[in-house]
Structure 1
């Protein structure tokens, strides 16, 4: 809560950020865990692409990639 003296000191500027700290610290990112997850996802993508390619071959249509 801002005091009247503080508001007067700020030329009666009532902008909220002037009186309230809204900063939220971000959580640190585990780069190694993210890299490992990307590897897992890449493997899953390759498996899915392979499955799609097999279906396309059975249907005698071009693959979308």
Structure 2
């Protein structure tokens, strides 16, 4: 599932994100959502989140 819709992402969701510095390479980072930083219901590049590790990025894929 893709991470463009805020309703699909909750605290504790296991996700793959792309960090700002990795946007060109599309290198993905795996983690668990701690905070949702995007307020709008959708975002074309992915909802911005903070992982439990403190890393911030946009959700590219939700891991079931």
Say which structure is richer in helix: 1
Fold shared per TM-score above 0.5: no
TM-score, with structure 2 as normaliser: 0.15
- Relative contact order, CA 8 A, sep 6+: which one is greater? 2
Task: Pick the structure with greater CA Rg.
Answer: 1
Length-normalised TM-score, structure 1: 0.15
Structure showing the higher strand proportion among its residues: 2
